[in-house]
Amino acid sequence: MANKQSILVTGGAGYLGSVLVPALLAAGNRVTVLDNFMYLQNSLAQLCINENFDVVSGDCRKVETLKPLVAKADYIFPLAALVGAPLCDKDPIAATSTNRDAITTLRKLLSKDQRIVIPITNSGYGVGEQGQFCTEDSPLRPISLYARDKVAAEQIILERDNSVSLRLATVFGMAPRMRIDLLVNDFVYRAVTDRFVVLFEAHFKRNYIHVRDVARAFMHTMDRFDAMKGRPFNVGLSDANLSKAELCERIKLQVPSFQFLEAPVGEDPDKRDYIVSNSRIEATGYSPAYSLDDGIRELIKGYRMIRNRVYGNV
């Protein structure tokens, strides 16, 4: 990364931020994190010695908090969000005010020269066509409040110049601020601790990506910003468009005692079912470094240390 940048990361103490912020600092950038620390996490504690790191405890929805921080930034990475359909359904007012309305506020504060890279979810594709890969040109059919607000946030940001949207697959892997409730992380946790899981609508497919590869996608986008700006990019593992049952089979290869069965009745409240093409970002030179199997192996080790649900957001 040639020129060192001043970067504002909202929600930077969260699952993704706790991996991304150290990587940004290691590359020599100046990083300010704005976070409300709602989970009482200390995931950035080891960075406080770094003179290029600053942290502000506050709410990304408040103009008076955001304005002076935005003014000093070359790049803004708005990671602050209530992530996942169950969490957003639990508190829809907080979800929409954070996931959509705070992005409107942020956009109003940006100068035309400032650059923004926003993480969106590929759950905006909703239910895809059978056997057809979802590309960035596929219709968006969000079916949860979380996905609808994130699709709206992407539209708000891409309407301005100097913006890139990263449509993230379901993220997995260990992080300083852990999320046990994400699908791969959750299933491996159940395999290690309970030895079984009951699947609802086990044939529903999704795409997956390691949290470190998401951080690498942000760094990659900074390096190639001029070539990528103005467009959305799917970010996932092209060899991991898997159903929940297929995911469980992969976990069972490493946890042989793991048992899973499909419930004869009931349904998954998260109705997503699609396969995704990541060829657009791959064409820019990006490729993931961590496989699904790498992540499962890592999580098995991690869960020897973590044995409680304080690390889940729902």
What is the topology classification, in CATH, of domain 6-241+267-311? Rossmann fold (3.40.50)
Q: What is the pLDDT of residue 1?
A: 47
Locate the domains of the chain by residue range.
6-241+267-311
Question: What is the average per-residue pLDDT within 146-166?
Answer: 96
DSSP string, 151-205: HHHHHHHHTSSSEEEEEE-EEES--SS--SSSHHHHHHHHHHHTSEEEESSTT-E
Q: Which of 117, 78, 116 is nearest to 100 (CA)?
A: 78
Enumerate the β-bridge partners of residue 127.
273
In whole angstroms, what is the distance from residue 41 CA to residue 145 CA? 26
222-254 pLDDT per residue, tens: 999 999 999 999 999 999 999 999 999 999 999
**Between vectors from CA 222 to CA 219 and to CA 225, what angle results, nearest 5°?**
145
In whole angstroms, what is the distance from residue 283 CA to residue 58 CA? 38
Q: What is the DSSP letter of 48?
A: T
Enumerate the β-bridge partners of residue 235.
168
Q: Which of 164, 279, 281 is nearest to 231 (CA)?
A: 164
Q: What is the pLDDT of residue 129?
A: 86
